[in-house]
Structure 1
Amino acid sequence: MFSRADLESREAAFLAPYARLSRDARREHAEEESPTRTAFQKDRDRVLHTKAFRRLEAKTQVFLNAPALGDHYRTRLTHTLEVQQVARSLALTLGLNETLAETVALAHDLGHPPFGHAGERLLDALMREDGGFDHNAQARRMVTLLEERSGGKPGLNLTLDTLDGLNKHDRAHLPPDTRQPSLEAQIVDAADALAYTAHDLDDGLRSGLLHPDALLELPLWRDLLTRAGVTAHPAPEQWRPLQSELLGWLISDLGESTAAAVAASGVQTPGDVTAQPQRLVTYSPELRGKLRETAEFLREHLYRHWQVERQVYQAEQVLTDLFTAFEQRPGLLPPRPRARIERDGLRRAICDHIAGMTDRYALETHGQLRR
């Protein structure tokens, strides 16, 4: 049986010199580490056992999480697991700390509210005068305050490396002198965008909101058909092999381009990585352009499709009604969010409560309050 010291020694012996090592990890509040798990393994296990992680199963990715829409579309949980798989594979390929990458991937969407980005936009608007709402900031709030570990202590007391990884999305909104995230965190960011592209195309086709013929205007799609040896009019049974081909293509390009960028940069330590003027995890220039075009296509033809917009409208109505009801009658709040009013203020307590809801729970609560 390997001890923590054995596992830490193995990291030091086999990982790249610029990888984050668990033996160097620190927590905001010092605690005794496990004798058989590294600090990052403990972080991962704490994230996996949170209520917030379990709730991802019933939160929107693109399509509203409701029984009438079927069981085969991706949820926030399946998206998270797909990001974890891609991030872990890339970390292994590049000699990075796979457990840290895996942990950041599992935690990165814990702050998403019900109804996906529509819910996030609405909560941000409702909270504009009270600090706004951002799912990245909410993920950090979840793991540092709202979730509890054994003994009823607030927050999970995750390592500072994991917490820094949760800053990955919004570096553009941080001060100019902000240091780059670790390569493990950069990998998760790239894996997140990669999963969105590949899997939203798949869900769009399965739903019928995207037609294969319309995708022919995309260079990425045309190149994918050529790579897979598939006709310009693929049958539904060919969509799964196409998705596998796309994932393999994107992961391979990302890994090769990142390895080249790391080598060209000359980084030798984790500190060298954070001091870089730009991120090192990147695609080839050609594929970056194709992915930008694909993202814009999905925005116009899937995310703004009239059937998706109907769901967005429903979500906005539900969350607005809930927020208004709780603000007018705080006694409608369950005990835990009500207990946080004195510390955080009524509106932030309401926001936290709504952000933690699943789609189904929000719809059920809305229905109960309207009876």
Structure 2
Amino acid sequence: MTSTLSQALSSAFPVRVLAACASEPERSCGRLHEEAESATRTVFQRDRDRIIHSGAFRRLQYKTQVFVYHEGENYRTRLTHSLEVAQIARSISRVLGLNEDLAEALALAHDLGHTCFGHAGETALKDRMRDHQGFDHNAQGLRIVTKLEHRYAAFDGLNLTWECLEGLVKHNGPLLGPHTDEPLPLAIQEYVETHDLELHTFAGPEAQVAALSDDIAYNAHDIDDGLRAGLFSEDDLRDVPLVGPVFRAVADAHPGLERSRVIHESVRRLITAMVEDLCAETVRRAATERPGCVEDVRALGRPLVAFSESMRENDKGFKAFLFPNMYRHHRVNRMTSKARRVVRDLFDLLVNEPVLLPGEWAGRALAAGEDRTRLARVVADYIAGMTDRFALDEHARLFDPVIKP
């Protein structure tokens, strides 16, 4: 942490910057299904542990964000990305005096609802679910932790705390009111009928930290993965805000340094710059707003945890570069086209022949009866939970006449 940031922290808030508005486990709003508390762990530590032990979390190991799994094992998966987001979120929360366990739990859970094949898989499922109440990865994450995980004797889902569920659905801001004009996904509509998550307010500060930790991680690491995959070079980055100067500074300070170390050192510095900017801007906002409790943070009408205006411009510059040079690179386009076809093929076949679904899923399809929308949701849940590798294998088993089913 730079001396400038250290001075800002110590002068504005001498001890634990935002401690007064941190989410305290003793003041949690509790769980939908009442349980005896643990003698050894706080409620937020239990949330984190339940997420880590869930089947959905384990499957993140074989789900990718940009690259299809079989393209190589050196690139980040949803699991490695989630672990990196959790590390950043814990570090930021420690500086700001927020609850590290809750921030970590939210960071670890933020990608649970994503499909196989990253954005390509989600695009294909959205297309097929258009006439069946839609598909949204954020709502799918809520379905997983409240309904689809079948691990506990007394309830479906993980029975996470109110604060954790609120953070999962609202980490990017309110879902109702003047801050959004997006329609509310059905899964969230249905859930809040029995468990109000106050969708018209901002989330608590730990969820805000987790959301921006996600931005920090994928900006820096997409640059890392793109360079190592050969989608672009260091020379291509020279005019990208913040990124270009950082790479030049590393090259100037360490002439002749091997390329892999140049990349790692530069990415490390990028993460540090973004973390320190976020902490400094959040301290500035806290000094202006003076929230006295977590409810004050929710009621501010704007995020408390934020980047500075200059860093937000840098973020736009990152994305403006990465979109054509990575996310729309012809190699990535070919992989995503293949991935969309796999998901569409699987969906169409299984909706029309639900008897091909395995075991428990076939039972759920049978329970849907003649309700095509309910059946489509069963199939979407099944496909969304697949890993990249399993989806490819399942497609081969169902469509390749040579491979045994």
Relative to the length of structure 2, the TM-score reads 0.84
8 Å CA contact 1:212, 1:234 repeated in 2: no
Same amino acid, percent of matched pairs:
44
Distance in 2, Cα, partners of 1:31 & 1:165: 21
Query: Displacement, 1:176?
Result: 2.6
Which of residues 279, 298, 305 is equivalent to 1:255? Answer: 279
Q: 1:265 matched to which residue of 2?
A: 289
Distance in 2, Cα, partners of 1:233 & 1:253: 30
SS at match of 1:128: coil
Q: Match of 1:346, as an amino acid?
A: L
Q: Match of 1:368, as an amino acid?
A: R
8 Å CA contact 1:96, 1:184 repeated in 2: yes
Comparing 164-173 and 109-118, the one that deviates more: 164-173
8 Å CA contact 2:202, 2:297 repeated in 1: yes
Q: Which runs of 5+ in 1 are unaligned?
A: 1-12
**CA shift in 2, pair 1:60/1:131, >3 Å:** same
Distance in 2, Cα, partners of 1:229 & 1:258: 31
Q: Which runs of 5+ in 2 are unaligned?
A: 1-14, 180-199
- Are residue 39 (structure 1) and residue 43 (structure 2) matched? yes
Q: 1:302 matched to which residue of 2?
A: 326
Q: Report matched runs for 1:1-371 at 5 Å.
A: 16-25=19-28, 26-66=30-70, 69-151=71-153, 153-169=155-171, 171=173, 173-176=175-178, 178-228=200-250, 230=252, 236-237=259-260, 238-341=262-365, 342=367, 345-370=374-399, 371=401
SS at match of 1:17: helix
Cα offsets for 1:75-106 (capped at 9, x unmatched): 01000000000001000110000000000111
Distance in 2, Cα, partners of 1:37 & 1:264: 35
**CA shift in 2, pair 1:140/1:116, >3 Å:** same
Distance in 1, Cα, partners of 2:207 & 2:256: 38
Q: 2:10 matched to which residue of 1?
A: none
Q: 1:5 matched to which residue of 2?
A: none
Distance in 1, Cα, partners of 2:81 & 2:320: 20
**CA shift in 2, pair 1:126/1:179, >3 Å:** same
**CA shift in 2, pair 1:276/1:196, >3 Å:** same
Cα offsets for 1:111-168 (capped at 9, x unmatched): 1100001111111111011111111110100000000233263111100000011113
Distance in 2, Cα, partners of 1:310 & 1:234: 34
Cα offsets for 1:242-273 (capped at 9, x unmatched): 11111111111111111111121111110100
Q: 2:197 matched to which residue of 1?
A: none
Distance in 2, Cα, partners of 1:34 & 1:103: 17
Q: Match of 1:340, as an amino acid?
A: R
Query: Displacement, 1:171?
Result: 3.3
Cα offsets for 1:195-230 (capped at 9, x unmatched): 110000000000000111111121222221355353
Distance in 2, Cα, partners of 1:129 & 1:330: 18
Distance in 1, Cα, partners of 2:67 & 2:377: 27
> How much is the aligned-residue C-alpha RMSD, in angstroms?
1.9
8 Å CA contact 1:337, 1:352 repeated in 2: no
**CA shift in 2, pair 1:27/1:137, >3 Å:** same
**CA shift in 2, pair 1:170/1:249, >3 Å:** closer
Q: Match of 2:100, as an amino acid?
A: E
8 Å CA contact 2:251, 2:257 repeated in 1: no
Q: Match of 1:38, as an amino acid?
A: T
8 Å CA contact 2:33, 2:155 repeated in 1: no
Distance in 2, Cα, partners of 1:288 & 1:331: 50
Q: Match of 1:135, as an amino acid?
A: H
8 Å CA contact 2:89, 2:209 repeated in 1: yes
Higher helix share: 1
Distance in 1, Cα, partners of 2:171 & 2:38: 30
Distance in 1, Cα, partners of 2:91 & 2:114: 24
Distance in 2, Cα, partners of 1:226 & 1:350: 50
**CA shift in 2, pair 1:250/1:176, >3 Å:** same
Task: State how many pairs are aligned.
Answer: 357
Query: Displacement, 1:333?
Result: 0.7
